[in-house]
Amino acid sequence: MSEQNSPFAKVTGVNGNIVSIEHPHGHLMKNEVAYVHVGDEQLKAEVLRIRGKTADLQVYEETAGVKIGDQVQLTGELLSAELGPGLLGKVYDGLQNPLHSVASAHGFFLPRGKYLNALDNVHKWAFNPLVRSGEKVIASQPIGTVQEGRFTHKIMTPFNLKGEAEITWIQGGSFSVDEPIARIRDQQGREEVITLKQKWPVRIPIPEKLIEKRIAERKFPDEPLITTLRLIDTFFPIAKGGTACIPGPFGAGKTVLQSLISRYSSADIVIVVACGERAGEVVETIETFAEMKDPKGEGTLMERTIVICNTSSMPVAAREASIYMGVTLAEYYRQMGYDTLVLADSTSRWAQAMRETSGRLEEIPGEEAFPAYLDSAIKNIYERAGVIENLDRQKGSLTLIGTVSPAGGNFEEPVTQSTLGTVKTFLGLSYDRAYKRYYPAIDPLISWSRYGLQLKDYFDKHIAPDWTDSIERVREILVKAEGIEQMMQVTGEEGITQDDFILFQKAKMLDLVYLQQDAFDPVDVSVDLNRQKENFTLLKKIVDTDFEFNEKQDASAFFTKITGIFKNMNYSVYASGEYNKHLNEINKMIEAY
């Protein structure tokens, strides 16, 4: 091989995880994967910036021992995800190394420079063809299926296929992910072998459309992602295929909230991206999901979950890759028609990794030393969420919920502000509510959802004709009650009118029995929409009733009693004898006034 065509370059400088290289003839490509050779080790890296014959690499390993003159192999390939059957139930790092397999092969201390296949290349999958030889196919078209646990996994033609191609050969049977199952011939006469897996660059969205033919068509999100959390579903809904963020200070319950959303939401497949969180939290998630029965069906929760695990103890550079990897895997299953949910915990760590890399590249910093392109980077990730209709006329969705960990709970810092300018649901966690042991600690006065009007037709049709308007009226009461409470802190109960005091008591009851849920109670932890509708309708009846009390103490005693009964009803199985008993007690108390 001539020097001009050589895939090798030389190291010219090292600055932390940034390694500068030079190629003799400048054959370099942005985001190309490279391997830095250190003795017998090969450290995986990615080209970030090119300047003529030189380039800067982001190395996804510790760079101890790398020196000037070391050889660097350029692969000519972009950082990609392996897509195929066998992804579900796996735990990967940000580069899609299967961590259980790495531990089995090399022990529990992850070795540097060791990379394994993301998909098991020994396991056989039963492939059932959907097309025959001679048929024409286009990009992303299913040509067969395999059964992946409880899911029908569609084997699709390459996503980058241009125009039509002809199936020249296809076979059914049991195959590993690397064995040929079909061959196609494109319009230029080039033949390509199809296997059960394909690769796709993680930084490029899986295409929704081609100019020549439709691959998948993006649709307007018109259904809610049901989380079974009353505060979210009723007041701050998230659309299937939508975006949301959960910012809050440390200890406010972000991880618990995300965990419950992943368990009980109406998504088919959940991808948890731990892009820099503490290792203990990730281990707890893996252990819990592996043992917990799936609320949506048989088997364990882990059987429909993928964990991308790049914790704070792993190389900082891989934090950035982890979120792209998780979104790409979600897009793959969305392309099949499944509702996927990506939970990124936390995007603050991802942004901090970008800040560190940007600093080492000596780029002009933005606010608080974050890169100037922070805002566009966050938008690029969240814009990959959405709803598509695939070639089978099936709708698939990708919902992206990211947590943000602003220092000191300061929502004015750059990562939170950039995220708020992108997402359509903001679930702000409050330290004060968390300190009072309110769960979820979402502050109803600062949180918002732009999906309210977008989902109005759905809620008015499936819940109640005036559902959305009723929510707004109740929210107004919460806002008014906040002002009354602030006045009471100055003047005491004597300084407000009887009507204001009753309004405050109504809002307090609403907060205690509806906005809060008991995450440790097997009944109250998850509330479906029918029960939410019935409970909210009952609460609105209480709120709309003009109660008259002689003294404020009488009003306080009444609402304390009805709140206690309502909370006991929350802990009762829906429509059970105990539930109906508490329901009748509440109705009798209302009718007595």
The one-letter amino acid at 464:
A
pLDDT digits (tens, 9 = 90+) for 379-416: 999 999 999 998 888 899 999 999 998 887 889 999 99
Using the 8-state DSSP alphabet, how is residue 301 labeled?
Answer: G
Give the percent of the chain with pLDDT over 70. Answer: 96
For 217, half-sphere exposure in the C-beta direction (CA atoms, 13 angstrom radius) is 9
Nearest Cα to 116, choosing from 101, 129, 103, 126? 101
Instruction: Report pLDDT for 211.
Output: 46
Pairing mode of beta strands 54-59, 18-22: antiparallel
88-103 as b/e, with b when 16 or more CB fall inside 10 Å? Answer: bbbbbbbbbbbbebbe
Instruction: Report pLDDT for 210.
Output: 54
Q: Which of 155-169, 209-223, 517-531 shows the lowest mean pLDDT across its residues?
A: 209-223
Residue owning tokens 């098991």: 120
Report the length, in residues, of the chain. 593
Higher pLDDT residue, 89 or 212?
A: 89
How far the first Cα of the chain sits from its last, in Å, is: 93
Instruction: Report pLDDT for 314.
Output: 64
In 383-521, which ranges are E strands? 386-389, 395-404, 425-426, 448-449
Q: How far apart are CA 476 and CA 513, in angstroms?
A: 18
What's the pLDDT band for 162 if we cut at 50, 70, 90? confident
Tokens of 497: 């009118």
Structural domains of the chain, with CATH: 8-78 (2.40.30.20), 125-198 (2.40.50.100), 221-452 (3.40.50.300), 463-591 (1.10.1140.10)
Higher pLDDT residue, 442 or 391?
A: 442
Higher pLDDT residue, 2 or 235?
A: 235
What's the pLDDT band for 312 if we cut at 50, 70, 90? low
Q: Rounded to the nearest 10 degrees, what angle do helices 529-544 and 577-591 cross at? A: 20
Please compute Rg for the chain using Cα positions. 27
Higher pLDDT residue, 277 or 514?
A: 514
Instruction: Report pLDDT for 280.
Output: 63
315-325 as b/e, with b when 16 or more CB fall inside 10 Å? Answer: bbbbbbbbbbb
Q: Is the dihedral of CA 22, 25, 29, 30 positive or negative?
A: positive
What's the pLDDT band for 213 if we cut at 50, 70, 90? low
- Mean pLDDT (whole number) for 215-244: 92
- SS3 at position 396: strand
pLDDT at 219 over 60: yes
Annotated binding site: which residue ranges?
248-255
- Mean pLDDT (whole number) for 90-113: 86
Q: How far apart are CA 99 and CA 106, in angstroms?
A: 10
Annotated binding site for ATP: which residue ranges?
248-255
As a whole number, the mean pLDDT across the chain is: 91
What's the pLDDT band for 285 if we cut at 50, 70, 90? confident
- SS3 at position 430: coil
- Mean pLDDT (whole number) for 182-210: 91
Q: How far apart are CA 246 and CA 515, in angstroms?
A: 16
pLDDT at 310 over 90: no
pTM value is: 0.94
Instruction: Report pLDDT for 556.
Output: 94
Q: How far apart are CA 388 and CA 265, in angstroms?
A: 19
Contact between 477 and 445 (Cβ < 8 Å): no
pLDDT at 524 over 70: yes
What's the pLDDT band for 191 if we cut at 50, 70, 90? very high
